[in-house]
Chain A
Amino acid sequence: QITLKESGPTLVRPTETLTLTCTFSGFSLSGRGVAVGWIRQPPGKALEWLTHVYWDDDKRYNPSLKSRLTIIKDTSKNQVVLTMTDVDPVDTATYYCAHLDGTRWYYYDYWGPGILVTVSS
């Protein structure tokens, strides 16, 4: 059974760096075709894809946020860490991590429950 869960601060000050951790079970991030990604959703708005890291450490970033994002995997701990620098109130959102099935069609099939992060002074 695949599960994922996001953890981290729920309140961050503007200009600070946000660090979120996705802890997962039921699969290994060393398995071919597997990736873990991050998606966010501002309150009342649409989903926005941020980034993901593949089993072979290949990484992809949303071009509009690339300069601020870093994704790192720790296969031994079954964790993926997202950092976002220089946060702003517009970064207030629910952040989800998700398992990507990349063996053929590339789709997020398992999601964490999400964590609401508020950026405010």
Chain B
Amino acid sequence: DIQMTQSPSSLSASVGDRVTITCRAAQDIRTYLNWYQQKPGKAPKVLIYGASSLQSGVPSRFTGSGSGTDFTLTISSLQPEDFATYYCLQTSSAVGYTFGQGTKLEIK
């Protein structure tokens, strides 16, 4: 299976900040990379699919980029509701999918 390395594991930021989370794949996954937001006690919610396509209903302050092995999720101006844990998921491998280890975004 394809290992996904996500960083940082945690991040403190303030409302209005710009933040970037990265995910690195152990091999080329083209653009089969999704980003999810999860709040405590809730199911994950997809933000970005295909590395850069914004899911319907997700605010435009969320952007995804990258291809091959290196990907980023950027939140342009943090809002109070954005404090959550974020995960990447690769869906390239026919063998199976792999999540990153998560990034917990906390209020500074």
Interface residues of A (CB under 8 A from B): 39, 46-49, 51, 60-64, 96, 98, 101, 104-109, 111-114
**Which of A49, A60, A105, A113 makes the CB contact (< 8 A) with B53?**
A105
The A-B contact count (CB < 8 A) is 67
CB of A109 within 8 A of CB of B46, answer yes
CB of A105 within 8 A of CB of B89, answer no
CB of A106 within 8 A of CB of B46, answer no
CB of A96 within 8 A of CB of B1, answer no
Do A46 and B97 contact each other (CB < 8 Å), given the known contacts A105-B32, A106-B32? no
Bound CA–CA A108/B100 (angstroms)? 15
Chain B residues closer than 8 Å to A47, beta-carbon distance? 36, 38, 44, 87, 89, 99, 102
Bound CA–CA A75/B45 (angstroms)? 25
Q: Which chain B residue has the least Cβ–Cβ distance from A106? A: B91
Task: Report which residue of A48, A62, A101, A107 has the largest number of chain B beta carbons within 10 angstroms of its beta carbon.
Answer: A107
CB of A49 within 8 A of CB of B50, answer no
Task: Report which residue of A108, A109, A114 has the largest number of chain B beta carbons within 10 angstroms of its beta carbon.
Answer: A108
Bound CA–CA A112/B102 (angstroms)? 20
Chain B residues closer than 8 Å to A39, beta-carbon distance? 44, 99
Task: Report which residue of A60, A104, A105, A111 has the largest number of chain B beta carbons within 10 angstroms of its beta carbon.
Answer: A105
Q: Which chain B residue has the least Cβ–Cβ distance from A66? A: B96
Q: Report the 7 A-B pairs with minimum CB-CB distance, sorted nearest first.
A: A106-B91, A111-B43, A107-B49, A105-B50, A49-B97, A107-B34, A47-B99
Query: Does B74 interact with chain A (Cβ within 8 Å)?
Result: no
Chain B residues closer than 8 Å to A112, beta-carbon distance? 43
> Least Cβ distance of A15 to chain B in Å?
25
Bound CA–CA A109/B89 (angstroms)? 12
Bound CA–CA A61/B98 (angstroms)? 11
Bound CA–CA A60/B96 (angstroms)? 6
> Least Cβ distance of B67 to chain A in Å?
13
CB of A49 within 8 A of CB of B101, answer no
